[in-house]
A and B are shown apart, each in its own frame.
Chain A
Amino acid sequence: MSNEEHPTPPAEQTEEAKADISSAAGRLAVKQRAGGMIVPVVTALFAFLIGGLVVLGTGHDPLSAYRDIFNGAGLNWVFHPTTDIANTAAYNLSQTLLQTTTLILCGLAVAFAFRCGMFNIGGQGQYFIGLYVANWLGYSFQGMARLPHVLIAVVGATLAGAAWAGIAGVLKATVGAHEVITTIMLNWIAIWVGEWLFGDGGPLQNAANKTVPISNDVAGSAQLPVFWGQQQLQGLHVGFFVAIAALVVFSLVLNRTTLGYEVRAVGFNPDAAAYGGISVRKNLVRAMAISGAFAGLAGALDMLGYLYHFGQSDIPATQVGFLGIAVALLGRNTAVGVGLASLLFGALLFGTTHGLQSGVSTIDPALASNLTYIIQGLVVLFVGADLLVLSIWGWRKKLRPKHREATA
């Protein structure tokens, strides 16, 4: 009796075992893969649908509200494209793309950690750190030539963001502290560091007026060139191309380098990765640091691209790091997805604030800007409830045959 099978669990349990990825992020990644491109689109549509119901509930017409947002975001530019920035649609679009730039990088910050099985909630803090360091370096080297000055400030801020996120990575790798907890804590530390830096007597407070809790402006030599629009009117700076390039780099690193191979192996199955000879701890720290680098870069580009200065009161008003989470979730942690989701949220961010300023809006200003956050919240909610979306559309069953064939 040699050729005996060793029993396996019944098919159902095997299926569970296949989905048994050790982290919540990993599990979500697996499930998201199964949904393909359709589910994120459905998720977004659902969010808009329910957002529309909210608008309806306030006694307004959701369709005209969405049209205002569309036009306010400058998306109507595609109907009559022009580079003339005096054109309203062109200006609106440039502003939407400005938001998109930041969102791409904040989204990548979440997505990269996600691919390594971690949930980086700390994009906000890492972004702030990048912002602070870019402001400090951008102001510090007055009179330097533009290229080295910009490079110093950008690289310094990026590394600072990496180091900040790296703290969470080190804590996870050494003592097992969960990255969700530590990155949230690091966000608060970053916020209060900012309050101190720009506050009365703070090291980065402006030199001219010691009663105003605002930083100095970065030197002209550290400011990024604007290629669409005017510098004084918050034109679109070259950082936009940096963000696009970051999408390409993200994709190449993940899919075409040994580093990316390790990140994905650890993200999908840390046990198998360790067995394969990959150091899981090293990858946790490294992936977290790379994530932080994306967020730090976002902070640098914003500071050097159009903000130039930052104050205490700006800190609580800044939410872009958190929006990165929704961007990454909706974008399925892929480069293309993050790019498209960033455009969507960028349009929402600017469209809701600008759609009503143009005077044609019919909706309540307070509701208009909140609509972004309502839709953001709904997207996060629906992405979390992916299976719900799948089963509502009856696709869940269609996802199973792949496995069933395998066990038969």
Chain B
Amino acid sequence: MAEELVLEMRGIRKEFPGVLANDRVDLDVRRGEVHALLGENGAGKSTLMNILYGLYRPDAGEILLHGKPVSFGSARDAIQAGIGMVHQHFMLIPVMTVAENIVLGVEPRDKLFLDERAAETRVRELSERFGLVVDPTALVSSITVGQEQRVEILKALFRGADILILDEPTAVLTPQEAHELFEIVRSLKADGKSIIFISHKLNEVLEIADRITVLRRGRKIETVPREGATEPSLARAMVGREVLLRVDKPPATPGDVLLSVRDLRVIDERGIPKVRGISFDVRANEIVGIAGVDGNGQSELIEAITGLRRIDGGTIEVAGQPIIPRSPREMLDAGVGHIPEDRQRRGLVLEFSIGENVALHDYAKPPDSKWGWLFPQRMIERARRLIKEFDVRGGGPETRAGGLSGGNQQKVVVAREVDRDPKVLIAAQPTRGLDVGAIEFLHRRLVAERDEGRAILLVSLELDEVLSLSDKVLVIYEGEIAGEHVGEFSEHQIGLEMLGVGKKTEAA
């Protein structure tokens, strides 16, 4: 590998009021190298990359590109200097074709108009060169998430990127798609491109990176070559202490069926069937995990069971009692707890205090209120107890929920749900966006709640999470159960089922 340095960031410092996001961070990237940037949320990875991409200005430090100091005032400057970034959230226009999206802003023109044929030809050339298979004439709305990501990569390459920043690129991909992405990354590398690979997944970093830079709390901890690095050593560098990477989980002893779903059908706002005849049971002392690629009906399934969305057919029984969920209130009263997938949009009223948030389901009942009159002091007392029990840090009962960190917000949500003593607990993406420490806490708590006798339905896009926590795994694909696994799970088989391949298991 060439030792030529294409990029050096020296002593980068960026302070946001109250927070030092980057503190004298150094990073150097070689030509034809995959350089992983590893760290927990809030470690400063995104800030550093946003500085490189011209979105933020550093307070101190310098950036050298091919040995020359540069200063970017905007992303446009960075793009012109040959830096490309693929964000976690794709920025494509669904109603336009792949080729149109790629050339957007730098269109080949035929006089005044877009020269579609030239655009398509050039996109096709580029995609063949790097093995990025995607049809230039397809509408973006019709392609898969994995393909959208390729379009984003092509977009950056089309603008002449030599240094490509991939921000958490595998977050939205299935294991198979991730594997294909790694192939693409290798072909880019072979072509002499440098790739900065932002991640907090230790296994994939060890698979793809040549060197790994670990950030923690805004500081660079170390830069190590892949050779010699191990998952425990990287985890320790990331978190600053030994981390238990596996969930300790005694085998389940399932009891009575507490949640029974039969032939459930749900349609979305546009009348499209999203859940198409799903049946399953969740028993006491059992965690049932639902694996699947985002958008295969998971959200609609949860919303139906929690009363947030009307069902189109089928039956739901909670602890043997049939219920047609007409409102969230009905399901709450039936003993269904719900940790929603988006705690900021749904799980919490961010402007409310922790005390008020803890009362979100029961504000209208004693002891929180009587005859419509609230007793804020009682809410505060309960919040104080739960803050202690769940180790919520960063505020007291009267602190605004929005002022807490993500992990602590989630603890408030979980505390509220668990404190109602639900028979069934639905946990949707319970650790999304949380750091390793908070994940450890929440995973242990979910297992503890299972052992308390609750029936837990876990829905997560994070396959690792589903596999490590669940006693039974269901795979959802296009609104149907594509596979059911008990005991030993085959990650490969589940991955195939998530993609709709190998639909061989018992039909729902």
What is A's interface to B at a CB cutoff of 8 Å?
1-14, 17-18, 20, 30, 33, 255-262, 264-265, 268-269, 271-277, 279, 397-398, 400-408
Q: Across the interface, do A5 and B17 meet the contact criterion of CB distance under 8 Å?
A: no
> Which chain B residues in 401-447 approach chain A with CB under 8 Å?
402-406, 429, 431-436, 439-440, 443
A-B contact pairs, 20 of them (CB 8 A): A2-B464, A3-B243, A5-B41, A5-B200, A5-B431, A5-B436, A10-B88, A12-B46, A12-B55, A258-B373, A261-B363, A264-B349, A272-B349, A273-B349, A275-B306, A276-B360, A277-B327, A404-B21, A407-B42, A408-B218
User: Are the C-beta atoms of A401 and B361 separated by less than 8 Å?
Assistant: no
Known: A268-B351, A271-B346, A277-B327. A400 touches B246 (CB 8 A): no
* Inter-chain residue pair count (beta carbon < 8 A): 198
* Interface size range on B against A: 35 or more
Of residues A12, A14, A275, A403, which shows the largest number of chain B Cβ atoms within 10 Å of its Cβ?
A: A275
* B443 x A2 contact (CB < 8 A): yes
Bound Cα distance A349, B126 (Å):
70
Return the contact of A10 from the options B17, B50, B429 (Cβ within 8 A): B50
In chain B between 382 and 415, which residues have their CB closer than 8 angstroms to a CB of chain A?
A: 394, 402-406
CA distance A398 to B356 in the complex (A): 26
Name 14 extra pairs, CB < 8 A, besides A407-B42, A408-B21.
Answer: A1-B245, A1-B464, A3-B245, A4-B436, A6-B171, A8-B433, A9-B88, A17-B345, A262-B363, A269-B346, A272-B345, A275-B338, A276-B363, A406-B403
Inter-chain CA distance A272–B361, complex, in Å, is 10
B468: which of A2, A268, A273 is its contact (CB, 8 Å)? A2
Interface contact B346-A1, CB-CB below 8 Å: no
* Residues 300-341 (chain B) with a chain A CB within 8 angstroms: 306, 308, 327-329, 332, 338, 340
Say yes or no: A3-B244 contact (C-beta < 8 A), given A277-B329, A401-B19. yes
Which residues of B are in contact with A by a Cβ distance under 8 Å?
16-19, 21, 40-42, 46-47, 50, 55, 88-89, 167-168, 171, 200-203, 217-218, 231, 235, 243-247, 306, 308, 327-329, 332, 338, 340, 344-352, 356, 359-361, 363-364, 369, 372-374, 376, 394, 402-406, 429, 431-436, 439-440, 443, 460-462, 464-465, 467-469
Chain A hits for B434, CB < 8 A: 5-6
| A75 to B16 Cα, complex, angstroms | 46
Interchain CB contact under 8 A, B374 and A256:
yes
Most buried by B among A4, A401, A408: A4
* Residues of chain B within 8 A of A259, CB atoms compared: 372
A233 to chain B, nearest CB (A): 43
CA–CA, A403 and B344, complex, Å = 13
Q: How far is the CA of A397 from the CA of B19 in the complex (A)?
A: 12
Distance in Å: Cβ of B468 to nearest Cβ of chain A:
3
| Cβ–Cβ contact B46 & A277, under 8 A | no
User: Contact: A33 with B328, CB < 8 Å?
Assistant: no
Q: Is the CB of A398 within 8 A of B374?
A: no
| CB atoms of A265 and B21 under 8 A apart | no
Cβ-defined contact, B344 with A261, below 8 A: no
Name the contact of A13 in the complex, choosing from B89, B351, B352, B406 (C-beta under 8 A). Answer: B89
Complex Cα distance, B55 from A398, in Å, reads: 21
One of B18, B344, B460 near A17 (C-beta < 8 A): B344
Chain A residue at minimal CB-CB distance from B438: A5
Given contacts A11-B46, A256-B373, contact A406 B394 (CB under 8 A): yes
Describe B's contact surface by its main secondary structure.
loop
**In the bound complex, what is the Cα–Cα distance between A404 and B432 (angstroms)?**
19
Chain A's nearest CB lies how many Å from the CB of B19? Answer: 4
CB pair A272–B171 under 8 Å, yes or no, is: no
Q: In whole angstroms, what is the CA distance A261 to B461 when docked?
A: 34
Tell me how far the C-beta of A131 lies from the nearest C-beta in chain B, rounded to whole angstroms: 31
Specify which chain A residues have a CB less than 8 angstroms from the CB of B351 in the assembled complex.
30, 33, 264, 268-269
Contact between B328 and A274 (Cβ–Cβ < 8 Å)?
Answer: yes
If A3-B245, A275-B328 touch, whether A10 touches B360 (CB-CB below 8 Å) is no
**Cβ-closest 6 pairs across A and B:** A401-B18, A8-B433, A2-B468, A10-B46, A276-B360, A7-B168
Cβ–Cβ contact A258 & B50, under 8 A: no
Known: A1-B245, A265-B352, A401-B19. A258 touches B433 (CB 8 A): no
**In the complex with contacts A7-B168, A256-B374, A261-B356 CB distance below 8 A:** yes
Contacts of A400 in B (CB 8 A): 16-18
Residue in B218, B347, B349 whose beta carbon sits within 8 Å of that of A265 in the complex: B349
Q: How far is the CA of A269 from the CA of B402 in the complex (A)?
A: 12
Which residues of A lie under 8 Å from residue B308 when comparing CB positions?
274-275
Contact check, B433 vs A7: say whether CB atoms are below 8 A apart.
yes
Nearest residue in B to A7 (C-beta to C-beta)? B168
Chain B residues within an 8 Å CB radius of A271:
345-346
Q: Chain B residues with Cβ under 8 A from A8's Cβ? A: 41, 406, 432-433
Contact A407 B406 (CB under 8 A): yes
Pair A2/B247 contact, Cβ less than 8 Å: yes
Given contacts A2-B465, A9-B89, A277 and B332 within 8 Å (CB-CB): yes
B19 touches A404 (CB 8 A): yes
Determine if A398 and B17 form an interchain contact, defined as CB atoms under 8 angstroms apart. yes
The contact of A407 among B235, B369, B405, by CB within 8 Å, is: B405
Closest A residue to B172 by beta carbon equals A7
CB proximity of A63 to chain B, nearest CB, Å: 39
Please determine whether B17 and A276 come into contact, CB atoms closer than 8 angstroms.
no
- Given A2-B443, A2-B464, A408-B50 contact (CB < 8 Å): no
Q: How far is the CA of A258 from the CA of B40 in the complex (A)?
A: 40
Taking CB atoms, residues of chain B closer than 8 Å to A406 are 394, 402-405
Closest CB-CB distance, B40 to chain A, in whole Å?
Answer: 7
